Amino acid sequence: MKYVVVTGGGMSGLGKGVTSSSVGVLLQACGLRVTCIKIDPYLNIDAGTMSPFEHGEVFVLQDGGEADLDLGNYERFLDVTLTSDNNITTGKINRTVMEKERRGAYLGKTVQVVPHVTDEIQDWIQRVAHAPVDVCVIELGGTVGDIESCPFVEALAELSYRVGDFCLIHVSHVPVLSAVGEQKTKPTQHSVRTLRSLGLAPNILACRSNSPLEGYAREKLARSCHVSSGSVLSLHDVGKNVWRVPILLRDQKAHEAVLRVLNLDVKEPDLKEWTARAELFDALVEPVRIALVGKYMGLTRINKDAYFSVEKALLHASVALRKNFFSQNPNAYKAAWNKLKGADGILVPGGFGDRGVEGKILAAKHARENRIPYLGICLGMQVAVIEFARSVLLDMQDANSTEFDAETKNPCVVFMPEGSRTHVGGTMRLGSRRTYFHHNDHHDVGCMAARLYGNVSYVDERHRHRYEVNPEMVARFEEAGLWFSGRDESGERMEIVELGEHPFYVGVQFHPEFKSRPGKPSPVFTGKTQILIN
């Protein structure tokens, strides 16, 4: 097994996730089988209980694991399916070590960070990075030198000696001070010095900067950090088109540098399809505006990351339909309504808690009454049901979800019976579940959702929720025109809702954005008969 480890120094937010994914794409294009591991040094077991404001989106894996959004980057870039084992946290490692200690697995020894914790980390990595994989790309989250990541750095240092074929790529910032006007290399030099002091030496430097790395900066870094100049890579900004990053790395022969360190034959990567997609993205002119009516909105990058997969799924769909996608998520009320009215479509994504829900309900009402394409995901589907009950079923003007009003007399959305009210971590309905398409018994229209998915009888999509549409009210909704075209295997849990007389008014309980890929957009984001983006 060959290992590529990506670390970061100096500051967070340098793009280690995109770098790791892009290196994986290059190695895949060279004919190698690649998997990825993300190491998150926080004490949480997983990302499931974290606020999107603080940590960004929680990405749901096929087996129900709740993980960092970088796992979504890996799946999208490499078109692979990962599991919760591909996300290592301090919480998971400590829990495993403590469970072993309680079972007496350490034979009465004093349990210590070295060797017990570091051995567990290495065992976990090697268990995930098994055949038929050729290369395992490991991203170490956080910043080198952080106290939380020290056990992982030590474990990776030990692993590098154990396995031999080990390439370390260090991502660091090369800033330009406006007063001086030249690229400064000292932050990277100090970052590498910290890394070396912890037992790891970089084979390749990936230098993040606003503009291409200058020759003098490259030579200075090569000399001071003890790497060849060909192993100093410029990872300068590529704008909105991150699909350009693998091409940027290829043009600098990054694949050759990695393959040589791993003792593999040097091959030229086949990026024809990838390059064509990146060039298509840059050439798109005709705009499409989708109003993203979310609750985790703000002006900072981390707020934007709260709906990371949703925006990527919209991007995949827009590129497939040759549209230049713009996401609108304003904060001011008046500006929000003006932009909502001018949008080509409205998307209401998932979320938890009652903050912002009434605004989502108004957005669903506006889309329904004005025949604007609407896609509701998870909470967005529940919002559509609540709005329909309030506006169309005249005796349900106080309809609500028990999540927002536990005493509501018309509970359209209820807590799932198997859910836990005392524990929040890992207790939702999570992971891949099967949805069966149902014929409309009340209206003579076909099943739009089934047509979108190619007229199959069922579809498997990923879920993350603890509330569901009240099955006792389904008959009334369907008699009034709101049709539940997708249900689980029991027929009692509603998965997809449609409004038959509307051009495109669809809600899904699952999260289709988690399985969207470049070149393989999610059907509910593109459409094949009634298209959301048109």
Residues classed as catalytic: 378, 511, 513
Q: Distance (Å, rounded) from C-alpha 250 to C-alpha 446?
A: 48
Evaluate the CA torsion angle 376, 382, 387, 389 in order and state its sign. positive
Torsion of CA 32, 35, 41, 46, to 10 degrees: 170
Report residue 416 CA to chain centroid gap.
26
Give the angle subtended at the CA of 285 by the CAs of 20 and 338, to the nearest 5°: 95
What is the secondary structure of 136-163 as a DSSP string?
Answer: EEEEE-S-TT-GGGHHHHHHHHHHHHHH
Q: What are the residues whose beta carbons fall under 8 Å from the beta carbon of 96, sequence distance 6 or more?
A: 120, 124
Cis peptide before 512 (omega within 30 of 0): no
Distance between CA 102 and CA 7 in Å, rounded? 33
DSSP assigned state of 109: P
The CA-CA-CA angle for residues 212, 214, 220, to 5°, reads 130
CB hemisphere CA count around 75 (13 angstroms): 26
- DSSP state letter for 185: -
Dihedral class, residue 190 (left if φ above 0, else alpha if ψ from -120 to 50, else beta) = alpha
Place of tokens 């990277």: 188
Whether the Cβ atoms of residue 229 and residue 214 lie closer than 8 Å to each other: no
Residue 170 CA, distance from chain mean position: 23
- Point out which residues pair with 4 in neighbouring strands: 137, 167
